[in-house]
């Protein structure tokens, strides 16, 4: 695994934020490597374990606990639609379907294996996630790191247009 | 689509949210300075740490995260001569469904949080502090990073803060999608790089055995912001806002079936639930009747329209009087909502009108808790998933007459028997929904076709 | 001397008891005869409090206005009960504490937890190795219900996972108590196990390529309260209720871990550790635990053999003993050497010592056996009874020191006869040529080896699990072996073989029972004075001043 020097410098700086226990940097490092590589590979897990002098299973324990840490690449643009009560009342189940329809994603391919739903060209991936904490403006979604409130079905095509 | 911006409602008392959605106000430090930013920090440094703790105690400030624990008492657990390092953690892992107040503070007024936090660190002698921000706020984390850099550049952080000899570092720690990290000991475990399994209490009370087994204060974003204002106005003055034992303002987050959902900062207890819905939020949707309200985040027990509660109030002469009230007359404060059998919790108010199907709503909540249970202890791990499967089966047309009783007893076997409060959080919705809407739950067994999927819970769209 | 631990008053199910300060609530209840069921709690590990099976009702003395406990009619404190049930595994008792282990709320809690643990547990008890010693089964009888009201689909998880070379995992059976994870982290110091995924989908795993291969891995199987972790060696071999359990000790190193041997008829199926805080806590190493299969070997020596016209012929015991005595009678004392074993019991070594004296030979020793030790249990000395061999005078302070001299004398033609007692001489510095050079070679052993093949007389002895006797571990603890199974065929207990030989050589009667052998030792060896086999007990007896092992004094001839 190739960690660029600049990234490793950032990593070393982050580790310094936890002077009592390097292990604290596990999740921050997972974020950094995921941002760089797009997802967390076995090599990334082993690299972090070695860097922080812990067992790889300690890192795997975290990777599989936190839904935002991925073990496979997402689409070029990753969509998160909020599933939880207030957004659901505001129509987020329908919004998810609308996104899938326009992004050419087969919603019914959803399985329990935790695999991301993706468009065949890998352009979009979508996830139905728990509360994004903007319940007053539901339904809400995130595309990559961008946040959108009160999204109507009609707005979906133009929204996807922005992410080419 | 886009950002929803609103002007304050006349009944609001904006203290914490003074700058939220204020035209021209930016998260930069210059905006904050223009508004008198960091003056309270300078003032705090003229005080002794124990005097700050005393002011916070006098203010009556209760934690805004959900449990409502008195903040000053929490700080008071740190012994004055503590030899171990003390840590302060800002719990910005706001995840309780129905709650969205911290999002605005973090994104729009980060320096308010930092100022409150620095004062709090000084008060409890914490030299290292972390902001645990939920993973779903990537932009918020960037804004906070920038704010920290600005604060550092102005000497509010780092070695010898403002020449006082007090050293302080604050770092951001990003979560990655786990509600359980809002539980303070789960958060601490997460920050230690472990699975966020909450710790048993006793013995692991954070104030004694917290982060790295050292004394640790964990406070919510809104709570820490309040500290700044307590310093500004003094604890006694602050305590005049709101009601005795329920002081200050509260940012209520309203969602669901009201005309104007959103955040509203109100004096604690100065408004009833009915006023909140009909006046502040402009009422229900046309032609709709109130069916139910979840008053303090999705884990709070649901209140049903038409219920009557017995509320004890202190009379001007000091005597206690009991009166019976309906759901719309319940004052929005910690004690009144507790008297109504629910809780003020995190301030997230979810309103449901008569179009909503309660089995659908409960299933949505159950799905959340089954997904978020950390899985450490038996009752919550097994029970939360069981409840979810049960309500999902009901929705999918497979209800049997025993379901309401089974749901209730599964929830009863969780509440009070788990390591952390998540047990109650996942059991209370089921207990209260089934008890209060029993006919609706029992009626599902008579249906023999699937109940219209998981849509938006609109009862009329269901067969 | 430290101050005595104060006793605290605790009310359990209405009755007041006293326990030393620092006692865990769950232990206090057990001591009061009120066993509280538990899964995750293990007295040797940290307490995560995750299974919630040990919930009880707890209270503290009600304080009066004077801030002193209010007293009831019985003069005892009135208890103010905590409304929420509390776990009993993570808290110590306190003065005036009240505990209810059998209240309606407690029973309700246990029923609730049992139901939760069973809803996703597979109903595969008939083919589960843990059946019969499964806590889930056991507590189901007391706290479970006959039927299930779980109408949903069970969670699917990985099954038949080779967690390591010796441990097999079934995640569907796992109740996530984390005992195995804590053992590996806290005791074995090899943090290779962990939970992955979350909530109801959580399961146990090791990281791919980083298996559970610690030499202590099988302890996780012992402490697994259910059938999630099973021993790959023992799996599917025998239902546990058919096993006859015999308390013994492990003889694979000088630690002498206390064990239980599980056998049925003439076959040993497993060896598990037996708790002894003075020796091995609750643990033993995999190497020692699995080092028993040779006992079940089909190659075992089952009858004496005598070399006739160059080939070994099966014989009865009488001719074999007579032949040996006759052969030995032809040598001068210094033409004979006795190579004994640090694996022999004290009783056997004592008789070997007598044999050495009867023969009058100065040439004797044991074969040292060194390996790599660790910080936990495995001793570098792989002989279980080196101290015994020294104390009884078969070996000196430096066991093995004489071997090279003996080999040299064999090569010089000065030593012509060797008695090889439970040792292969090729492991003692001899070559095959050295063996051929001997006029007489006796091999007392249990399995064929080059020494046996070259022997003039072969006497079949008994393995550690087939005999009684005692050994002294590296820390000077005298411990007992017990007989779990009978030796195969015509094989004999080694001490009886040696007695026969002594009788034949000396013409006097030897001891009839092994207790008498021990009595002779106790009458001669000062460190063991006053002891008897029965006095050693199941947990052994710590000898004093044995680090500085003196040579055994010459016994009076009358002792034989």
Q: Are B158 and B221 contained in the same domain?
A: yes
pLDDT at B201 over 50: yes
Q: Is the pTM of this model over 0.80?
A: yes
Q: Is C545 helix (H, G, I), strand (E, B) or coil?
A: coil
Q: Rounded to whole angstroms, how far apart are CA atoms A32 and B215?
A: 29
Task: Please tell me which chains touch C, using 3 or more CB pairs under 8 Å as the contact test.
Answer: A, B
Nearest to B375 among C51, C84, C202 (CB): C202
| pLDDT value of position B94 | 80
What is residue B455's predicted lDDT score, i.e. its pLDDT? Answer: 66
Question: What CATH number does the domain containing B176 carry?
Answer: 3.40.50.11540
What are residue A58's phi and psi, to 5 degrees? -65, -35
Q: Are residues B200 and B120 in the same domain?
A: yes
pLDDT in tens, B162-190: 999 999 999 999 999 999 999 999 999 99
| Closest chain C residue by Cα to residue B424 | C84
- Cβ atoms of C490 and C273 within 8 Å: the answer is no
Q: Which domains does chain C have, with CATH numbers?
A: 7-111 (3.10.20.740), 152-296 (3.30.70.20), 305-467+490-513 (3.40.50.740)
With an 8 Å Cβ cutoff, are A130 and B176 in contact? Answer: no
Mean pLDDT, residues B10-18 taken together: 95
What is the SS3 assignment for chain B? CCCCCCCCCCCCCCCCCCCCCCCCCCCCHHHHHHCCCCHHHHHHHCCCHHHHHHHHHHHCCECCCCCCCEHHHHHHCCCCCCCCCEEEEEEECCCCCCCCHHHHHHHHCHHHHHHHHHHHHHHHCEEEEEEEECCCCHHHHHHHHHHHHHHHHCCCCECCHHHCCCCEEEEEEECCCCHHHHCHHHHHHHHCCCCCCCCCCCCCCHHHHCHHHCCEEEEEHHHHHHHHHHHHHCHHHHHCCEECCEECEEEEEEEECECCCEEEEEECCCCEHHHHHHHHCCCECCCCCEEEEECCCCCCCCEECCCEEEEEEECCCCCEEEEEEEHHHCECCHHHHHHCCCCCCCCEEEEEECCECHHHHHHHHHHHHHHHCCCCCHHHHHHHHHHHHHHHHHHHHHCCCCHHHHHHHHHHCCCCCCCCCHHHHHHHHHHHHHHHCHHHHHHHHHCCCCCCCCCCCEHHHCC
Tell whether B171 is covered by a domain.
yes
Instruction: List the domain range (segments joined by +) for residue B384.
Output: 358-461
At A115, list the tokens: 């695999």
Q: Shortest Cα distance from C212 to chain A (angstroms)?
A: 11
Q: CB of A130 within 8 Å of any CB in chain C?
A: no
Whether B227 and B328 share a structural domain: no
Nearest-by-Cβ selection for C196 from A42, A54, A61? A61
% of chain B exceeding 90 in pLDDT: 88
Closest alpha carbon to B410 in C151, C323, C332: C151
What total number of domains does chain B contain?
3
Tell whether B19 is covered by a domain: no
Report the residue of chain B nearest C112, measured CA to CA. Answer: B413
Examine residue B5 and state whether it is found in any structural domain, yes or no.
Answer: no
Which residues of chain A from 34 to 93 reach within 8 Å of chain C, CB to CB? 42, 45, 54-58, 60-61, 63-65
Residue B54 lies in a domain: yes
Q: Does one domain contain both B54 and B182?
A: yes
Q: How far is A38 from chain C (nearest CA, A)?
A: 20
Looking at residue A114, its pLDDT comes to 61
Instruction: Chain A: give the shortest CA distance to residue C38, in Å.
Output: 25
B401 and B346 part of one domain: no
Q: Do B387 and B336 fall within a single domain?
A: no
pLDDT at B81: 85
pLDDT at C124: 93
Among residues B225, B240, B255, the one where a domain terminates is B240
CB-based contacts of B116: which residues, under 8 Å, 6+ apart?
B224, B225, B226, B227, B228
Share of chain B above pLDDT 70, in %: 95
B224 and B267 together in one domain: no
Which residue does chain A place closest to B87, by CA atoms? A20
Of B175, B206, B240, at which residue does a domain stop? Answer: B240
pLDDT value at position B463? 30
What integer pLDDT is reported at residue B296 of this predicted model?
94
Q: Residue B448 domain-assigned?
A: yes
Q: In this predicted model, which residue has the larger pLDDT, C263 or B313?
A: C263
To the nearest 10°, report the CA torsion of A138, A143, A146, A147: 0
Residue-level pLDDT at B454 = 63
* Whether residue B58 sits in one domain with residue B96: yes
Q: Looking at B240, B267, B284, which one is the last position of a domain?
A: B240
Q: What is residue C552's predicted lDDT score, i.e. its pLDDT? A: 38
- B317 & B289 share domain: yes
Whether residue B295 is contained in a domain is answered as yes
Contact state of A55 with C210 under an 8 Å Cβ cutoff = yes
Q: Tell me the nearest-neighbour CA distance from A157 into chain C, angstroms.
A: 35
Q: Give residue-wise pLDDT tens across range B63-78.
A: 988 888 999 999 999 9
**Residue numbers in chain C where pLDDT is lower than 70:** 1-2, 547-560
| Residue A70 distance to chain C (closest CA, Å) | 12
Q: What pLDDT does B320 receive?
A: 87
Nearest CA in chain A to B93: A133
- Looking at residue C145, what is its pLDDT? 83
ipTM above 0.95, yes or no: yes
Q: Of the candidates A90, A131, A136, which has its C-beta nearest B263's C-beta?
A: A136
In a domain, B178, yes or no: yes
> Which residue stretches of chain A have pLDDT < 50?
none
Give the pLDDT confidence score for residue B453 in this predicted structure: 58
Whether B209 and B255 share a structural domain: no
B417: contact with C, CB 8 A cutoff:
yes
State yes or no: pLDDT of B460 exceeds 50. Answer: no
Domain with residue B391: its CATH number is: 1.20.1440.230
Say whether both B41 and B145 belong to one domain: yes
Q: Is residue B4 part of a domain?
A: no
pLDDT at B305 over 60: yes
Q: How far apart are CA C113 and CA B427, in angstroms?
A: 15
8-state DSSP, A56: H
Q: Cβ of B386 and C116 within 8 Å?
A: yes
pLDDT confidence of residue B263:
96
Looking at chain A, how many residues does it have?
164
Cβ contact, residue pair C199, B416, below 8 Å: no
Residue B461 has pLDDT above 60, yes or no: no
Statement to judge: residues B305 and B436 lie in one domain:
no
**Cis ω for the linkage preceding A139 (within 30 of 0):** yes
Span B115-128, average pLDDT: 97
What are the tokens at C420?
A: 């090889």
B134 φ/ψ sector (left φ>0, alpha ψ -120 to 50, else beta): beta
pLDDT at residue number B65: 84
| Whether B56 contacts B257, CB under 8 Å | no
Residue B319: give its domain's CATH number.
3.10.20.600
Q: Mean pLDDT, chain B, as a whole number?
A: 94
Count of CB atoms situated within 10 Å of the CB of C241: 8
Identify the DSSP state of C370.
B
């Amino acid at each position: 695994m190739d960690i660029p020097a600049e990234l490793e410098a950032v990593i070393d700086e982050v580790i310094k934020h936890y002077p009592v226990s390097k292990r604290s940097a596990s999740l921050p490092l997972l974020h950094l490597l995921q941002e760089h590589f797009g997802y967390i590979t076995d090599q990334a897990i082993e690299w972090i374990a070695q860097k922080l002098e812990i067992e790889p299973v300690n890192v795997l324990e975290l990777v599989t606990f936190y839904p935002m840490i991925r073990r496979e690449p997402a689409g070029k643009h990753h969509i998160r639609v909020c599933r939880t009560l207030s957004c659901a009342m505001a129509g987020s189940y329908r919004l998810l379907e609308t996104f899938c329809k326009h992004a050419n994603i087969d919603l019914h391919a959803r399985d329990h294996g935790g695999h991301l739903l993706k468009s065949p060209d890998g352009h979009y991936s979508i996830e139905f996630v728990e509360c994004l904490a903007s319940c007053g403006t539901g339904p809400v979604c995130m595309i990559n790191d961008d946040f959108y409130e009160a999204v109507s079905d009609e707005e979906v095509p133009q929204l996807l247009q922005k992410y080419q | 689509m886009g950002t929803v911006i609103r002007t304050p409602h006349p009944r609001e008392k904006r203290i914490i949210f003074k700058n939220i959605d204020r035209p021209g106000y930016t998260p930069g430090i210059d905006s904050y300075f223009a508004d008198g930013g960091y003056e309270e920090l300078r003032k705090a440094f003229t005080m002794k740490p124990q005097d700050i703790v005393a002011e916070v105690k006098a203010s009556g400030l209760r934690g805004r995260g959900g449990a409502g624990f008195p903040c000053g008492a929490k700080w008071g657990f740190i012994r004055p001569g503590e030899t171990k390092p003390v840590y302060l953690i800002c719990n910005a892992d706001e995840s309780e469904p129905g709650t969205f107040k911290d999002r605005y503070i973090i994104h729009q007024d980060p320096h308010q949080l930092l100022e409150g936090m620095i004062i709090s660190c000084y008060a409890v002698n914490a030299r290292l502090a972390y902001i645990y921000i939920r993973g779903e706020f990537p932009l918020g984390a960037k804004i906070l990073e920038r704010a920290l850099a600005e604060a550092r550049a102005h000497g509010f952080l780092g070695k010898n803060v403002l020449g006082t000899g007090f050293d302080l570092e604050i770092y951001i720690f990003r979560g990655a999608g786990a509600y359980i990290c809002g539980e303070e000991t789960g958060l601490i475990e997460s920050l230690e790089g472990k699975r966020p399994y909450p710790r048993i209490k006793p013995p692991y009370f954070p104030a004694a055995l917290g982060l790295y087994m050292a004394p640790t204060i964990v406070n919510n974003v809104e709570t820490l912001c309040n500290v700044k204002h307590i310093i500004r106005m003094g604890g006694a003055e602050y305590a005049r806002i709101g009601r005795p034992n329920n002081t200050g303002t509260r940012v209520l987050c309203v969602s669901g079936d009201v005309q104007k959902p959103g955040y509203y900062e109100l004096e604690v207890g100065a408004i009833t639930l009915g006023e909140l819905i009909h006046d502040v939020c402009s009422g229900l949707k046309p032609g709709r009747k109130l069916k139910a309200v979840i008053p303090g985040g999705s884990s709070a027990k649901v209140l049903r329209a038409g219920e009557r509660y017995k509320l004890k109030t202190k009379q001007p002469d000091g005597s206690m009087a009991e009166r019976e009230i309906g759901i719309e007359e319940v004052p929005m404060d910690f004690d009144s909502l507790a008297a109504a059998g629910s809780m003020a919790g995190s301030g997230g108010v979810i309103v449901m009108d008569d179009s909503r199907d309660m089995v659908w709503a409960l299933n949505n909540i159950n799905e959340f808790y089954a997904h978020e249970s950390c899985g450490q202890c038996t009752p919550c791990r097994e029970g939360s998933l069981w409840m979810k499967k049960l309500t999902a089966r009901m929705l999918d047309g497979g209800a049997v007459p025993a379901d309401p009783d089974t749901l209730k007893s599964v929830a009863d076997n969780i509440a009070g028997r788990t390591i952390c409060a998540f047990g109650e959080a996942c059991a209370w919705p089921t207990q209260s929904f089934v008890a209060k809407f029993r006919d609706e739950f029992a009626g599902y067994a008579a249906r023999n076709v699937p109940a219209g999927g998981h849509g938006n819970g609109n009862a009329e769209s269901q067969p | 001397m430290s101050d005595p631990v104060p006793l605290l008053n605790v009310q359990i199910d209405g009755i007041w008891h006293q326990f030393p300060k620092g006692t865990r609530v769950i232990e206090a209840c057990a001591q009061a005869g009120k066993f509280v069921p538990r899964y995750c709690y293990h007295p040797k590990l940290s307490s995560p409090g995750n299974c919630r099976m040990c919930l009880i009702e707890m209270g503290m003395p009600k304080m009066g206005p004077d801030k002193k406990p209010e007293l009831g009619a019985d003069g005892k404190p009135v208890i103010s009960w905590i409304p929420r049930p509390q776990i009993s595994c993570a808290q110590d008792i306190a003065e005036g504490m009240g505990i209810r282990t059998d209240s309606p709320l407690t029973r309700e809690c246990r029923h609730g937890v049992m139901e939760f643990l069973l809803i996703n547990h597979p109903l595969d008890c008939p083919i589960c190795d843990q059946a019969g010693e499964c806590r889930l089964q056991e507590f189901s009888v007391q706290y479970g219900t006959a039927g299930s009201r779980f109408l949903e689909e069970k969670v699917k998880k990985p099954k038949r996972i080779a967690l390591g070379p010796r441990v097999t995992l079934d995640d569907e059976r796992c109740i996530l108590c984390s005992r195995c994870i804590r053992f590996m982290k806290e005791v074995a110091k090899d943090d290779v196990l962990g939970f992955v995924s979350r909530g109801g989908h959580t399961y146990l795993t090791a990281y791919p390529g980083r298996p559970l291969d610690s030499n202590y891995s099988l302890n996780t199987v012992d402490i697994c309260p259910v059938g999630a972790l099973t021993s790959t060696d023992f799996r599917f071999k025998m239902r546990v209720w058919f096993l006859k359990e015999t308390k013994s000790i492990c003889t694979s190193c000088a630690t002498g871990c206390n064990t239980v041997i599980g056998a049925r008829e003439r076959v040993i199926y497993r060896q598990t550790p037996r708790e002894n805080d003075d020796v091995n806590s609750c643990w033993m190493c995999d190497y020692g635990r699995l080092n028993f299969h040779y006992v079940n070997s089909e190659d075992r020596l089952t009858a004496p053999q005598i070399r006739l016209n160059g080939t070994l012929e099966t014989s009865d015991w009488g001719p074999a003993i007579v032949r040996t005595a006759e052969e030995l009678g032809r040598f001068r004392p210094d033409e004979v050497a006795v190579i004994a074993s640090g694996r022999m019991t004290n009783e056997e070594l004592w008789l070997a010592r007598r044999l050495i004296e009867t023969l009058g030979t100065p040439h004797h020793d044991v074969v040292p056996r060194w390996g790599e030790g660790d910080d936990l249990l495995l001793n570098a000395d792989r002989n279980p009874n080196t101290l015994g061999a020294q104390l009884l005078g078969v070996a000196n302070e430096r066991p093995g020191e004489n071997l090279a001299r003996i080999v040299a004398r064999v090569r010089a033609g000065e030593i012509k006869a060797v008695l090889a007692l439970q040792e292969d001489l090729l492991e003692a510095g001899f070559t095959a040529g050295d063996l051929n050079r001997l006029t007489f070679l006796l091999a007392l052993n249990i399995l064929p080896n080059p020494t046996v093949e070259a022997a003039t007389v072969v006497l079949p002895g008994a393995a550690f699990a087939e005999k009684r006797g005692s050994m002294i571990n590296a820390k000077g603890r005298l411990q007992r072996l017990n007989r779990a199974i009978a030796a195969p065929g015509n094989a004999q207990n080694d001490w009886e073989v040696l007695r026969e030989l002594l009788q034949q050589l000396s013409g006097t009667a030897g001891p009839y029972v092994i207790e008498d052998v021990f009595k002779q030792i106790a009458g001669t060896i000062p460190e063991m004075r006053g002891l008897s086999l029965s006095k050693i007990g199941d947990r052994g007896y710590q000898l004093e001043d044995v680090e500085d092992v003196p040579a055994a004094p010459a016994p009076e001839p009358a002792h034989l």
